[in-house]
C-alpha cells in the first residue's frame, strides 16, 4: 500500500532562458505501526441496554452463552467507543459455553459477563453483584422480536446457583423439559440477553456514579461459614455458593 | 523518518539555448497508519514452558489465580510474538480469582487457561483437556526459585474437581491446613504455574501437530449420565463433573 503524489511542473522564462522548475516526486510509503493501547481499564461510554440484549441473544446462537454475553457488551462498545475495543476478538470467550465446553461449571453467561466487566473496570464489586444477581433473579425475562427456537413466553425460574449444571437442571425441573430441548436452549439464549443487559445497566450506573452492591450472601451460607469459613474454627471452605443444593445439611442427614 | 533520493542532472544544448533537464527529486515519505488487528485466531509462536510457569507464579501474587495463568501465557506471547497480543490488558482476567471473586466456582487457574487458550486457538479440545487434566493431576509440582509464602516441598493432592471450593477444601484436608493459610496460598500459586505450563505445553504440541486429547469422563459420571444425560431417559443433567463429591449416590443414600 503506497500512494504516489507527483509534484506539479511549472514553465517560465528568466533572462531569455527557459527554466524548468525541478520535478518533485513524493512517494508516500504507508508503514503499519501498532496503535498505542491506552492504559487499562479502558474508556467506557454508556450503552443502550436493549441493543446489548438483542446482540447478546443473537450471539448466543452463533457461539454459545459466554460468547453471547461478551459479544453483547464488547460488540456494542466496538460500535460506541471503537478503538481499543476493536482489537478484542470476542470469539475468545467461546470456551465458556455450557459451563466451559459442557462441563457444567460456571454458567457461561457469567463467564462472558466477568470478562466484559473486567475489561471495562477493575471494580470487582460489579462481578460479585452479577453472580449474586444471577442466582436470585427470575429468568428469562428477555423477549426476542423473533425467537430462534421457541416463540412466546417461557417458564421462568430462579437458578439458585451460578453453576451451569445446577442452573440447567433447576430449569428442566421448573419447565418440565429435557436438558437439550428447544425450550432449554431458548431459555439459555434469553438468560444470556438478560445477563448482558444487567452488565450494561451496572456499567452505566458505574459511569453515572450510582452503582451500589445489593447482593448479600444467603443466611444459610453465612451459617455454614461461621464454622467452615475464614473466621470459623474449622476454616476449610472458601465459597459464597449456597451449600444446601449439594450438601443438604450434613450435620443432620 | 523520510528518505530522500535525488535524481541525476543531465546538461545539453538545443537550438542555441541551454537546456537544463528537470532535476527530479523523489521524496519517499513514510506515513504511519494503524496496524490492522489480524483475523482471529492469532499467530502463535512456541513458548518456553518454564518461563511461562515462572511468570504465572509471580503474577498470581500480583492479581490472583486467573490473572496468573492468563498473564503467564499471554505475557510471554507479548514478548515472543508482540502485536496483536500487546493490545490485550491481561488484568482483564483478575475477576476469575478465588473461583470468581471468592465464589468458589471454576478454579481461576482454569478460567485464565480458558481465556488464554481461546485467544490463541479455536480448538476447544484443549480447553476440555485442561479441565480434565486439572481434576486428575497431582499438584502442586512447580518449585519456585524463591518461594513467596512457604519454602520447600508442599503436600500434593488431586483436586478431583475443577471447582475452586472443592479444590481448596480437598487441599486443606490433604495438607491439614486452613483455607487461608500460607500453605494453601502457596499451593494455589504453584498450581497456577503448573496449569499455565500445561497450557503452553498443549499449545506447543498443537503448533507441532502432535496434540492429542487424553482425558476421559470418569466411569462414575458416565454411569449417572446414562440415565440423566442427553441419551438417557431422564435427560435433566448437563455436566462432566464427578457427581459423587456433591451427591454421593442418591439412589442408595
Boundaries of every domain in chain A: 49-208, 217-253
**pLDDT of B186 strictly over 50:** yes
Please tell me which of the candidates A24, A83, A131 has its beta carbon nearest to residue B27.
A24
Answer yes or no: do B86 and A34 touch at CB < 8 A: yes
Place B247 in a pLDDT band, splitting at 50, 70 and 90: confident
Cα A49 to chain center, whole Å? 13
B103/A221 Cα distance (integer angstroms):
11
Whole-number pLDDT of residue A245: 80
Residue located via cell numbers 482454569: B110
Answer yes or no: do A119 and B41 touch at CB < 8 A: no
B205/A215 Cα distance (integer angstroms):
44
Chain A residues with CB-CB distance to B22 below 8 A: 9, 20-23
Whole-number pLDDT of residue A242: 87
Q: What is the dihedral of CA B44, B49, B50, B56, to 10 degrees?
A: 70
Query: Average pLDDT over chain B, rounded to whole?
Result: 90
A120/A205 Cα distance (integer angstroms):
13
**pLDDT of B7 strictly over 60:** no
Residue located via cell numbers 475489561: A119
- Say if CB A20 and CB A9 are below 8 A apart: yes
Ranges of residues in chain A with a pLDDT under 70 are 1-22, 252-253
Give the chain A residue nearest B4 (alpha carbons). Answer: A26
Residue B99, CA distances (Å) to A70, A78, A250, B24, B48 in order: 19, 28, 23, 68, 27
How many angstroms separate the CA of residue B198 from the nearest CA in chain A?
17
B117/B129 Cα distance (integer angstroms):
11
Please tell me which of the candidates B30, B86, B179 has its beta carbon nearest to residue A37.
B86
Please tell me which of the candidates A17, A23, A241 has its beta carbon nearest to residue B18.
A17
**pLDDT of B15 strictly over 60:** no
- Say if CB A47 and CB A203 are below 8 A apart: yes
Stretch among B98-112, B161-175, B232-246 having the lowest mean pLDDT: B232-246
Nearest to A88 by CA among B97, B248, B41, B247: B41
How many angstroms separate the CA of residue A174 from the nearest CA in chain B?
11
Which has more confidence, B7 or A128? A128
Contacts of residue B163, defined as CB under 8 A and 6 or more positions apart, other chains included, come to A105, B99, B104, B105, B106, B107, B241
How many angstroms separate the CA of residue B176 from the nearest CA in chain A?
9
B107/B132 Cα distance (integer angstroms):
12
**pLDDT of B238 strictly over 70:** yes
DSSP state of B87: G
Percent of chain B with pLDDT over 90: 72
Which has more confidence, B208 or B29? B208
Q: Please state the rounded mean pLDDT for residues B206-227.
A: 92
Whole-number pLDDT of residue B18: 54
Contacts of residue B16, defined as CB under 8 A and 6 or more positions apart, other chains included, come to none
Residue A158, CA distances (Å) to A106, A133, A168, B104 in order: 16, 10, 11, 20
- Say if CB A111 and CB B111 are below 8 A apart: yes
- Say if CB A64 and CB B114 are below 8 A apart: no
Place B135 in a pLDDT band, splitting at 50, 70 and 90: very high
DSSP reduced 3-state for B155? coil
Q: Please state the rounded mean pLDDT for residues B34-45.
A: 91
- Say if CB A239 and CB A161 are below 8 A apart: no
**pLDDT of B2 strictly over 50:** no
Q: What is the dihedral of CA A36, A37, A42, A45, to 10 degrees?
A: 60
Chain B residues with CB-CB distance to A122 below 8 A: 91, 94
Contacts of residue B153, defined as CB under 8 A and 6 or more positions apart, other chains included, come to B143
How many angstroms separate the CA of residue B30 from the nearest CA in chain A?
5
Whole-number pLDDT of residue A217: 87
- Say if CB B57 and CB B76 are below 8 A apart: no
- H or E element in which residue A157 lies: strand A157-158
Whole-number pLDDT of residue B147: 98
B46/B79 Cα distance (integer angstroms):
12
Amino acid at each position: 500500500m503506497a500512494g504516489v503524489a507527483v509534484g506539479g511542473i511549472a514553465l517560465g522564462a528568466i533572462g531569455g532562458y527557459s527554466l524548468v522548475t525541478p520535478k518533485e516526486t513524493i512517494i508516500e510509503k504507508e508503514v503499519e505501526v501498532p496503535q498505542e493501547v491506552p492504559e487499562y481499564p479502558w474508556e467506557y461510554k454508556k450503552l443502550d441496554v436493549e441493543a446489548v440484549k438483542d446482540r447478546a441473544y443473537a450471539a448466543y446462537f452463533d457461539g454459545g452463552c459466554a460468547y453471547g454475553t461478551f459479544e453483547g457488551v464488547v460488540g456494542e462498545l466496538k460500535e460506541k467507543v471503537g478503538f481499543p475495543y476493536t482489537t478484542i476478538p470476542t470469539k475468545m470467550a467461546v470456551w465458556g459455553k455450557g459451563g466451559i465446553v459442557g462441563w457444567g461449571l460456571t454458567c457461561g453467561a457469567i463467564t462472558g459477563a466477568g470478562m466484559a466487566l473486567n475489561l471495562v473496570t477493575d471494580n470487582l464489586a460489579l462481578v460479585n453483584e452479577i453472580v449474586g444477581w444471577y442466582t436470585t433473579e427470575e429468568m428469562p425475562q428477555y423477549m426476542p422480536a423473533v425467537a430462534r427456537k421457541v416463540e412466546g413466553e417461557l417458564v421462568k425460574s430462579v437458578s439458585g446457583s451460578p453453576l451451569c449444571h445446577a442452573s440447567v437442571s433447576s430449569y428442566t425441573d421448573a419447565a418440565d423439559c429435557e436438558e437439550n430441548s428447544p425450550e432449554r436452549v431458548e431459555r439459555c439464549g434469553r438468560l444470556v440477553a438478560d445477563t448482558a443487559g444487567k452488565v450494561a445497566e451496572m456499567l452505566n450506573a458505574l459511569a453515572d456514579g450510582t452503582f451500589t452492591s445489593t447482593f448479600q450472601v444467603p443466611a444459610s451460607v453465612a451459617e455454614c461459614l461461621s464454622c467452615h469459613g475464614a473466621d470459623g474454627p474449622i476454616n476449610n471452605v472458601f465459597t459464597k455458593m449456597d451449600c444446601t443444593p449439594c450438601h443438604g445439611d450434613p450435620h443432620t442427614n
